[in-house]
Amino acid sequence: MTDPNAIQPSELDQLPDRDPEETAEWQASLDAVAEAAGPHRAAYLMRRTLERAEGTGIALPKLLETDYVNTIPTAAEPHVPGDPEMEARITAWNRWNAAAMVTRGSKHGVGGHIATFASAAWLYETGFNHFFRGKDSGDAAGSGDQLYIQGHASPGIYARAFLDGRLNEQHLDNFRQEAGGNGLPSYPHPRRLPWLWEFPTVSMGLGPLSAIYQARFNRYLTNRGIKDVSASHVWAFLGDGEMDEPESTAALALAAREELDNLTFVINCNLQRLDGPVRANFKIVQELEAQFRGAGWNVVKTLWGSTWDELFQLDTTGALVRRLREVPDAQIQTYQTRDAAYIRESFFGSDPALVEMAKLLSDDKILDCFHFSRGGHEPRKVHAAYKAALDHKGAPTVILAQTVKGHTLGEGFASKNANHQMKKLTVDEFKAMRDLLGLPIRDSDFADGQVPYGHPGAGSPEVRYLQERRASLGGPAPARRTHPLAPLPAPAEKAFTSFDKGSGSQNVATTMAFVRLVKDLVRDKETGRRWVPIVPDEARTFGMESLFPSLGIYSPKGQTYEPVDRDQLMYYKEARNGQILNEGITEAGSMADFIAASTSYATHGEAMIPFYIFYSMFGWQRTADQMWQLGDQLGRGFLVGATAGRTTLTGEGLQHADGHSPVIAATNPASLTYDPAFAYEIAVIVREGLRRMYGEAEPGEDPNVFYYLTVYNEPLPQPARPSGPGIDEGIVKGLYRFNTAESAGLSTTANAPRIQLLGSGTAIHWTLEAQRLLAEEWGVAADVWSATSWSELRRDAMDADAALLRGEERVPFVRQALQGAEGPVLAVSDYMRQVPDQIAQWVEQDWSSLGADGFGLSDTREAARRHFGVDAPSIVVAALAQLARRGEVKAAAVKEAREKYGL
């Protein structure tokens, strides 16, 4: 059995000690202090020594955790400019109106959250009064700071916009009532309130991740010479419970590695999540401190208010600090709701030194400390933390601000486990809140039991002060501004027409065709530099390595090493002004990149054209929540699901075989989903996307969309573009006739049975082979159609249905396209049958479909297609079965075909 008192091996044992005697003297001194003054005094001296070493530049590993006290002592807090009393009155009005808005809305059953803003009010108000720069800020013109507001605190932001005149009472009364077109969204939502909100921050966890990549993208824009946004600062307001989301901490190391000192996280540590304590038996602040310090962040803890200063001065033995570190969060929460006698016994009664300290404290002092006095509730302490964050260089900063959830809302709210779900205050509770905040609201103002909104008047000193402070910081915030940008010039037509002649005898996968198109587009003199290629460590898989030397991979440090492949033509080149964002193995980080780039037209007034290429299986499946965030934020760009389809990725199997991404994509209203079969189709779709998102949008056309293209890794001959009218329109709208049996040179009789074969993506090649087999072996004439977008056909048809209900005559495009086409329709894709079946109800002909339903599997393409029943012989059998049901071929032909092809 190991002796616990034995000296344990140390990593230092392997290093030479040039003076063991001196080392032993230092160790003996530490032992002597611990024996004479106690281990806590020894620990204090060691901390002081480590601080001294750090201050003199001696390289030592940092402690991951510090005492449960404020990082910035009261004596070191800088002077706060402005008028503190005026700011307190402004904050009081905002607290009141935030609570009133939610309470008034509760009669409609729409809900709302009160307690979060109540705890965080000073975290926001201090920033709005002194730190957050608006769009017209002189040193950050057109950009300002980027504010990621905690979603549940939105009522407080609306209340401030009401005070400064940007919202009125009618707006507040329409909180969470948007159907009439004049409402306020429940949470920050640019698509619903595009003049106010810049960043959607619910779902939780996506805000912190996006904030990191937004700060990183700001550096990218600056280093590439697109726009100098070095003066912009990114502020992300988060909840301590939200930090449990894996996305919240997924990119902490990147932020530290790239020294993003233009980024500050403000975590509201009210110790409560939605149902109870965040860390009931532990301490979330200490946990977060260790996590962020370990990742390389600067950590500022703002835990206790100034009332605690006297207690810390009395703590000559360290007993108070020890007790604060050992009391779990749930007990701290309990202290906030119990009387002084309970606190004396439970908190102070555990240590003789604390018992003596408590004798010097009045009950009022104890209650003030444990019920109210938190660092996050004192503007002076919040101001000191914010200034420290801006002054710190070389690393991002996280501020851990301790608050009380439900602060100022009364005993019925403060620190209650259920306060997240509590939607209203009673009239008596409002009157108590009024008295606490000192607001001039009369009892008679509560007409018929309805809580009134409060406003000091448009010309009041409070409103003038608020507006003057915002004017000095560059205008209102938060604010989203879509700058009047000139449309980007269309790239040279040559880039798009280079595929029209086909590839001849050369086999080209559509993934390669897309990359080749992008290579031409990034060379465009007008718009080439605005492309932002994004890839999650699979560039070579997608044939993008040829872009490395020409565009460079973005790195804020450039290339500090000689790459191993420097003597090769396509060597790995990193550059400070590199254009490619090669993110490593992180789809979530790549999507956050994409969101920042895709909304740069609004955030910074600079239109960027991101394309993010990824394994289609790992895009929507893993990060569909971020695709919704992208749509919410009105992002524009191209998502490219490469190595797409359930049967094209030979040998990879179930976890790589994408048979469903178009289904997920079709659920997103902002996503225009395409499954192009040929290179020239990709060119038409990308050209149309550039026009719609960045060029001259047509009347009534929403440019705030993004395109999702599935492309394949299956090298096949690329055909020439068919001649004839309507090809481009059909490609964009989702369907056109690629050929007929006759134009394909297939010989059938004049009265041969006819069928329409609709194929998308790589499936069209099996469809073309089935067309040949049907003609040559079964005497059936088949026309082949390329269905470039099943979901766009469906949307058009749904719009037509809605128009009919309004009394307008409109025929869906799919019906127009197939009008007069003889015979039944058989649709085929490399995805679930659900994908083509989207349009079935609008097709007048008899409908049937084939698809790759079920789990993927590892095998050759041919074997996988036979397994799923989508290869050419399977299409032939399905076509014959359709025709047999109509009596156009003999029923025996179906059985004969199955036996012939071994199905």
More confident residue, 650 or 720: 720
Q: What is the pLDDT of residue 747?
A: 84
Coil, helix or strand for 850? strand
Q: What is the pLDDT of residue 541?
A: 84
**CB-CB neighbours of 319 under 10 Å:** 20
**pLDDT band, residue 6 (cuts 50/70/90):** low
pLDDT tens digit sequence for 826-858: 999 999 999 999 999 999 999 999 999 999 999
- Between strands 234-239 and 263-269, the pairing is parallel
Residue 562, C-beta contacts closer than 8 angstroms, at least 6 positions apart: none
Q: What is the pLDDT of residue 419?
A: 60
Asked whether residue 486 carries a pLDDT value surpassing 70, the answer given is yes
pLDDT tens digit sequence for 518-561: 999 999 999 999 999 999 988 888 888 889 999 999 999 999 99
Distance from C-alpha of 838 to C-alpha of 816, rounded to nearest angstrom: 17
pLDDT tens digit sequence for 38-56: 888 888 888 888 888 888 8
Structure tokens at 249: 């901490």
pLDDT tens digit sequence for 151-199: 999 999 999 999 999 999 999 999 999 998 889 999 999 999 999 999 9
Q: What is the pLDDT of residue 10?
A: 75
- Between strands 507-508 and 716-717, the pairing is antiparallel
Residue 424, C-beta contacts closer than 8 angstroms, at least 6 positions apart: 102, 103, 106, 114
Coil, helix or strand for 401? strand
- Between strands 671-674 and 706-710, the pairing is parallel
Q: What is the pLDDT of residue 3?
A: 59
Q: What is the pLDDT of residue 539?
A: 86
pLDDT tens digit sequence for 429-456: 999 999 999 999 999 999 888 999 999 9
- Which amino acid, one-letter code, is at 313? Q
DSSP label of 184: B
765 and 874 in contact (C-beta within 8 Å)? no
Q: What percent of the chain has pLDDT over 70?
A: 98
Structure tokens at 369: 């400390």
Sign of the Cα pseudo-torsion (603, 605, 606, 607, in order)? positive
Q: What is the pLDDT of residue 23?
A: 87
Asked whether residue 95 carries a pLDDT value surpassing 90, the answer given is yes
- Where in 292-437 does DSSP place strands (E)? 298-302, 397-402
Alpha helices, DSSP H, located in 237-300: 252-257, 284-295
Q: What is the pLDDT of residue 567?
A: 86
Residue with tokens 């094209």: 648
- CA 760 vs CA 452, 513, 805, 810, 827: distances in Å: 59, 16, 31, 26, 8
Instruction: Give the residue among 446, 463, 397, 344 at the shortest CA–CA distance from 90.
Output: 463
Distance from C-alpha of 114 to C-alpha of 98, rounded to nearest angstrom: 7
Q: What is the pLDDT of residue 421?
A: 66
- Which amino acid, one-letter code, is at 410? G
Asked whether residue 869 carries a pLDDT value surpassing 70, the answer given is yes
pTM: 0.95
pLDDT tens digit sequence for 199-255: 999 999 999 999 999 999 999 999 999 999 999 999 999 999 999 999 999 999 999
